[in-house]
A and B are shown apart, each in its own frame.
Chain A
Amino acid sequence: MRKTFAAFAAAAILGFLPSIGAQAADYPRKPIEMIVAYGAGGSTDIMARIFAKYAGERLGQRVVVINKPGAGGEIGWTALANAKPDGYTIGLINSPVVEVYPFTRAKTVGYDLKKIKPLVNVVTDPGMIAVSAGSPYKTLKDFLDAVKARPGEVTLSHEGIGGDDHLAALNVQKATGAKFKFVTFNGNAEATVALLGGHIHAFEGNMSEAAAQIKEGKIRGLAIWAAKRQDAVPEVPTGAEQGVNVIAAASRGVAVPAGLPKDVYEKLLAVSREVVADPAFRAELAKLNMPINPMFGDEYQKFLDDSFKTLKAMWDAEPWIKE
């Protein structure tokens, strides 16, 4: 009995040791947890699981997805920011949402952006405006003319106040002087039903979630808020092509808790580069209509910083949540 206890104690101590000083040479020695701040089966979760599979193969250890959904991602990101920086906890971050909470929820937000160190951006999913196939609006101009003719009467869906779709729509309003009547939904799926059922005039959402219905001819994309046309829906023109200079997207990438030992970070970075370059990985994402947009380390950090500055300026000029 006593012997068993001693054996257990020794095992426990030995099991604990590696996490004290993680070195790249023997890292990783146990499975890595990957926090996803949204539920299982959502588009962030699906991307995370595919990335985890390819990264795990290269790291020689399983990368296990842990879903910590809640508070629009805040709960998961708080867990990531406050995790031990030993390389055994990494996580997914979603831009722009992860950047806005520190000022839109300044009083209550649980994480500090400085404690989240970006590793690799994987997907940048542009926003778009779409109407149902039977809609009289054939182009962005048709639609905006109708909105301007009847200000505040033409309905446009978004996924919730302060989300990337809402921010995109606000930017379109600013750029064109149009005034939409916003109808709030909890997610693109609900909004798509309302669009197909003719309950709203138009839909502002992410390309990856509308692409399938566009390919089937059920809905028509009027404009995509990206610098260039997208492979998944090549027939949809960009906003800029039609004179509306708006860029809006939701980006999903991998991040780590700040303070990770440099060599561990470098190892994860090297593995990430291999994963996003892997044709099989790219093919899986293409099948899901998720446009790949790799940005690594400092470049990714700069992208997030720039995005933060733009959004903060927007918020300071006119906060979208009034308290």
Chain B
Amino acid sequence: MLSALLRVVSPEGLLVLFIGTLAGLIVGALPGLSSTMGVALCIPITFSMPSDMSLVLMGAVYVSSVYGGSITAILLRTPGTDASIATALDGFPLAVAGRSGEALGMSTVASLFGGTLSAIALLVIAPPLAKIALIFGPHEYTILTVFGLVTIVGVVSDNPMKGVITAVAGLLLATVGFDNFTGFRRFTFGNSELFDGVPLLPALIGLFSVSQALNLIVSKDGGILSKEAVLDVAGRILPALPDLKRCFRTLMRSSFIGIIVGILPGAGTSIAAFIAYNEARRHSPTPENFGKGELEGVAAPESANNAVTGGSLIPTLTLGIPGNAVTAVFIGGLTIHGLIPGPKLFTDHAETTYTLIFSLFFANFLFAIIGIIGARWISHVTRIPGAILSPMIIIFSVIGSYALRNSMFDVALVLAFGVAGFFMERWRYPAAPLVIALILGPLLEVNFRRSMEIANWDMTTFFTRPVSVVLCALVLLAIAYPIYEHRKARRRAGSGKASPLGAGRDID
């Protein structure tokens, strides 16, 4: 263990760590480069490196890219990765209010908190936690994805009906592609590039980044923020102690959510962030401030998505089961160096493995330091006139989407999603449920059909397994709670209009 620690703090280790962290920040912040791509890009580079150093590089890129996405989410409302979609909900309103420094500071501290806590979990209690991944079978995943969808629809929109509409649109888009169960091609129109479905990254980049660039083009202000807001950039960065105290429970709860969601294969950073955001709002004494620039609304998703990083490495390293797409690439990186994931990693290759785990702590602190020091300068990005910023965003979006699989089709897709996103924004249809449904749709479908294959199409099977029953109850609660809240609020107010779905929060 000590020798592993010494490897991390060796000049070589620190250099790799620094390069990885910086590269991860850039990958995360730029629209068009995802965490998965960042780690995948490392693989050819690590080919000729010692195995422990290549793991340090991949680990650093992973954790700091998840954090990096929040920077652009807060400043420009263009989340760099799907992990930070939820961060934009309150981060950008804070920036508009001239509190971008504070928002960046909170996101940095929250990411550090979540990342460190999950690295501790990985270091101390990985083997027992890994068992959670095995308890979840197709049945449990089916209900979990339903829970995720219900949560997200409730979170993002002031009009739940519109959230439902875009979520359904996302689910429909998710049906495109080759059906692995029957061999049918669905809605591909003979186009082999749609064979694997509508790719997530072009949808994400188009709906958030390109549409925001288009917004900038048509806006009269000429910049992303009003002049007054920009002038306030020099405000405080590190969160004030009372703010931190207020957010402490949220940070703990969100990190816990992130670690658990991280352990579950398939679910990922974006889902953890939304569930944590929703929980933070539910427990808040002032839920009405969420979505308008609430620091807790930044703290929750950012601690949760970084807590996923350590969590997702738990089943990856102990069982050889990737927790998500990024860690699937991780497994590839491990096997290239002849390290087969599994318990042997902690015995035969203990030094290499612990070097990786220790390096995660350092990477978390390193990105936090860079983030705190850099926040003031990075904030100036909002001063760049729209005429320069929006072409830049579009260029990065186009390059990123092309690089994904060297395909011009994806570039066209990004631009189409960009235009769609622009109009959705105008007509106040939230884009987040669409993207999340695109992520969860395939998971929901294959796990539902898989459980039906096992249960011979007997739907009651979902109520025959304890974990699945608990999740069903959570889904009901997630639907019922907002209705109850809304009723209570209406009783208190004496009057109020009924919501279309009864799901509340549409008092506009």
Q: How far is the CA of A78 from the CA of B328 in the complex (A)?
A: 26
Q: Closest chain B residue to A108 by CB distance? A: B190
What residues of chain B lie closer than 8 Å to A71, measured between beta carbons?
A: 178, 192-193, 195-196
Q: Indicate which residue in B41, B135, B342 contacts A197 across the interface (CB closer than 8 Å).
A: B135
* Contact call B329/A40, Cβ cutoff below 8 A: yes
* Contact call A49/B183, Cβ cutoff below 8 A: no
B43 interface hit (Cβ, 8 Å): yes
Q: How far is the CA of A148 from the CA of B136 in the complex (A)?
A: 29
Q: How large is the interface on B (under 10, 10 to 19, 20 to 34, 35 or more residues)?
A: 35 or more
B485 interface hit (Cβ, 8 Å): no
Q: Indicate which residue in A183, A193, A288 contacts B133 across the interface (CB closer than 8 Å).
A: A193
Known: A46-B332, A74-B195. A194 touches B138 (CB 8 A): yes
Known: A74-B192, A212-B320. A161 touches B454 (CB 8 A): no
* Contact call A320/B183, Cβ cutoff below 8 A: yes
What residues of chain A lie closer than 8 Å to B330, measured between beta carbons?
A: 41
* Min CB gap B168→A, angstroms: 24
* Contact call B405/A67, Cβ cutoff below 8 A: yes
Known: A108-B185, A199-B454, A321-B183. A193 touches B446 (CB 8 A): no
A216 interface hit (Cβ, 8 Å): yes
* Min CB gap B421→A, angstroms: 24
Q: How far is the CA of A289 from the CA of B342 in the complex (A)?
A: 15
Q: Closest chain B residue to A35 by CB distance? A: B406
* Min CB gap A156→B, angstroms: 11
A residues contacting the other copy or chain, number (CB 8 A): 58
* Contact call A185/B192, Cβ cutoff below 8 A: no
* Contact call A216/B343, Cβ cutoff below 8 A: yes
Q: Indicate which residue in B183, B192, B335 contacts A46 across the interface (CB closer than 8 Å).
A: B335
Q: Closest chain B residue to A40 by CB distance? A: B40
Q: How far is the CA of A287 from the CA of B322 in the complex (A)?
A: 20
* Contact call B193/A39, Cβ cutoff below 8 A: no
Q: How far is the CA of A135 from the CA of B193 in the complex (A)?
A: 41
- Residues of B at the A interface (CB closer than 8 Å) are 40-41, 43-44, 47, 133-138, 178, 180-185, 188, 190, 192-193, 195-196, 265, 315, 319-322, 328-333, 335-336, 338, 340-344, 405-407, 446, 449-450, 453-454
Q: List 20 A-B contacts (CB under 8 A).
A: A41-B332, A67-B40, A71-B195, A71-B196, A74-B192, A74-B195, A75-B405, A78-B192, A155-B454, A161-B182, A183-B450, A184-B180, A193-B134, A193-B315, A197-B134, A200-B454, A212-B341, A288-B335, A321-B183, A321-B184
Known: A75-B405, A107-B190. 14 other contacts (CB 8 A): A40-B44, A40-B329, A41-B328, A46-B332, A69-B405, A104-B183, A105-B185, A108-B188, A193-B315, A194-B137, A198-B134, A199-B137, A212-B320, A323-B184
Which 6 residue pairs across A and B have the least CB separation, nearest first?
A41-B332, A321-B183, A71-B195, A199-B137, A197-B134, A160-B180
